[in-house]
Structures are given as C-alpha cells and as structure tokens.
Amino acid sequence: MASAARSASRLLRSAPASFRPAARSARFALPAQGVRVAARRGYASEAGPEKSSGGSGAIWGIGLAAAGGAGLYFYLNGESTPKGPFVPTQEDYQKVYDEIAKLLAAETDYDDGSYGPVLVRLAWHASGTYDKETGTGGSNGATMRFAPESDHGANAGLKIAREFLEPVKAKFPWITYSDLWTMGGACAIQELGGPQIPWRPGRQDKDVAACTPDGRLPDAAQGQRHIRDIFSRMGFDDREMVALIGAHALGRAHTDRSGFDGPWQFSPTSFNNEFFRLLVEEKWNKKKWNGPVQFTDKSTSTLMMLPADMALVNDRAFKKHVERYAKDNDAFFKEFSDVFVKLLELGVPFQTEDRFVFKTSE
C-alpha cells in the first residue's frame, strides 16, 4: 500500500489548484485500500543512510527497564520466558511497528478514513514541549498520560490517539509509552506515503511531576514571531520550522478542539508537499463565519489555512523554504524526515546511536 500512497501523492501534485471534488466523502478520502489508512482526527495546533542494529549491548539499559513487561509478553504469546533481562531487538520493534500498521489498515472509521494523522499529532505534541534551556519536556516521559498536561488546550482530542495505541501497548507491554507514541507517529507518516523516519528506542516514562506547563506548543492563531519563539525554544532554525509545519499535509482541524475547521489539502490521509504547493499557488481569503480567523481557498472554498500557516508566506525568510518545498517534494521529504527525527529525540538520554528504519506494510 505504500506504493499506492505515493502514486496518489504524485497524482495530487500534478492536479490543478482549481480541482473541485464532488462531495465531502469523495472530496477528502482516498479509498482505504489505496492508501495506508485507518483514522482518528489529526490537527496540529500549531506534525545520509542510517545505521540499524539488532539487540546490541548498547541498548542493554533499555532491556532492563522493559524486563517487567517482557515476562507477560512471552506468557501471552505462548513462548518460554528467556533467562536474564529482556533486551528488545530491531525485530521486536518491527513487530510493534507492524501491529500499529495493521491497526491503521483495519480501522478506517475516523475522520477521512485514517487514524494516521492523529498519531502524527500525538507524537508531535508529546515531543514539542521540549525546552532547551531547562532540558525539560519532550518525548521522554509520555507525561500527556496525566492531567494537567492531557487537558492543555493544544492537546484536545489526543485521547483518541492514546486510546488507539492501547491495544498495541497491551500486546507489547515491555515498550514504554514514550517509545510507543513516537513510533506511532513515525509509522503513520511512512504508512501514509511519506518518507522513512529512522527511529531509535530508549525513552523512559515519567510520573505526573514531570508534566510541562501549558503554552509550550504552537498557537495556530499567531504569526511568525510566535512561530519563531516556540520553535527556537526547541532549537530549530527557520528551515526546520517550515519543514515541521509541513505535517499539516495530514489531517484536519476540528471546531470542538481548536475552534478551526477543515483540511489543508484534498487528500488529508496522504503525506506529500501539497500543503506548500497550495499555500503558494492558491489564493486564500478570510473565511466568513462565526469562528476564529482562518482562510479558505478561492477555487473551491473547501480547504483552509490557519493564521500561522499564512505567516509562512508573509515572512520572506520562511517563504523561500515554502516555495522550495512546493516545487520539490523530494527535498521536502528529506528535510522533513531529518527534522522530525530531531523533534522526536529532543531531550532523550539515549544509550545507543543506532536508529532503526522500519519496513512498511505491503
């Protein structure tokens, strides 16, 4: 299905900006068998070759932390419990990835037919709380399991993604929530036709005391100054900021969460550079409605852009990257992959330098 998703992306990139879908059901959802899908809503309020390794001594510490759940894992799977601490190998992590991919393909009752976008949003928001000055926040901890962090406005609706991954956690109890959530985001991007996302284990779950304060995630109603304040706190430059916001290729906004409404592109379950192409080529007008300020495309009035999205073309330094990604999907994929990996790893005290590149589903 990966090749089908990428074929869909190429078709979208060749379609004129004035393309008008016939109806909502056909407008936003590619056939489930045509793209790796299975949905829960996905709105982000603001989304060289790597070495891979099996179970080396470098990740021994990870195995010690996972040992408690490992016994249950082997018992439930009818396997004899090995002697000594359980040290997950790349093959073990591939099985977790495969389980997430299987659920994405099987469960298509969410939004536009895939839970993938909301898994990306979960990974993004779990990681995007990092503060380079204090070393707090980030994906290491999975503190969104607890209030008040789970109740922060920017995290509205992410309970859906967390619950979606619970059956995977139950089947593989040795993996931490911190690793599971980030792997879920990497899996969703790959399964929806996006670039490979090299991933490495080593995150440890923390308790409620490690919850981050509200206000660390991007506010979609703000402009370029806010974008730079939020992203520079994590250590990103202008190019990386624009690439990360390209995750808006997936999913849609929801009035019951952010207050905004609608998808960014015509196929919100296909990862591609359409978000950037539409930003550049389409004319965007302020939407006339009773909700917060957002913009709608002149051609069909079915798509939307947020004030923070429009800031990318209103700022000269940001716009040059938008234009580059709009013209070159390969460049976007490469640079998005690099910076998304960086996002997922912020503040994590890894015990290994090796990353895994997971095989996508067929």
Which among 341, 309, 131 has a CA at the least distance from the CA of 215? 131
Radius of gyration of the chain, Cα coordinates, nearest whole angstrom: 20
Task: Compute the average pLDDT of residues 336-344.
Answer: 98
What pLDDT is attached to residue 40? 35
Asked if residue 131 is part of any domain, the answer here is: yes
CA 27 from chain centre, in angstroms, equals 23
| Rounded Cα distance, 94 and 102, in Å | 12
Work out the mean pLDDT of the chain and round it to a whole number: 86
Q: What is the pLDDT of residue 77?
A: 64
Which pLDDT score, from 0 to 100, does residue 236 have? 98
Give the mean pLDDT of 57-86: 57
Q: What b-and-e string marks burial along 270-299, b requiring 16 or more CB atoms within 10 Å of the CB?
A: bbbbbbbbbbeebebeebeeeebebbbbeb
Residue 361, domain member (yes or no): no
- Residue 57 within a domain: yes
For residue 351, is it within any domain?
no
Q: Is residue 360 part of a domain?
A: no
State the amino acid at position 112 in one-letter form.
D
Mean pLDDT of 330-358: 97
Q: Which secondary-structure segment (H or E) carries 320?
A: helix 316-327
Q: Are the CB atoms for 297 and 290 separated by under 8 Å? A: no
Q: What is the largest CA-CA distance in the chain?
A: 66
Query: Is the pLDDT reported for residue 123 higher than 60?
Result: yes
CA distance 199 to 183: 7
Establish whether 125 is a catalytic residue: yes
- The yes-or-no answer on residue 248 being catalytic is no
Domain count, the chain: 1
Instruction: Flag whether 276 is in a domain.
Output: yes
Distant-in-sequence, close-in-space partners of 330: CB < 8 Å, separation ≥ 6:
none
Among 124, 125, 174, 248, the one annotated catalytic: 125
Answer whether residue 84 is part of any domain: yes
50 inside domain: yes
Q: Is the peptide bond before 148 cis (omega within 30 degrees of 0)?
A: yes
What residue numbers bound the domain in which 301 lies?
2-345
Domain containing residue 56: CATH number: 1.10.520.10
Res 84: pLDDT: 80
pLDDT of the residue at 6:
54
Q: Taking residues 160-184, what's their average pLDDT?
A: 98
pLDDT of residue 47: 35
pTM: 0.81
Catalytic residue, candidates 124, 199, 264, 284: 264
Q: In whole angstroms, how far apart are CA 88 and each of 85, 93, 285, 334, 358? A: 10, 7, 51, 28, 15
Exposure b/e, 121-154, CB count within 10 A at least 16 = b: bbbbbbbbbbbeeeebbbbbbbbbbbeebeebeb
Task: Tell me the pLDDT tens digit for each residue of 195-231.
Answer: 999 999 999 999 999 999 999 999 999 999 999 999 9
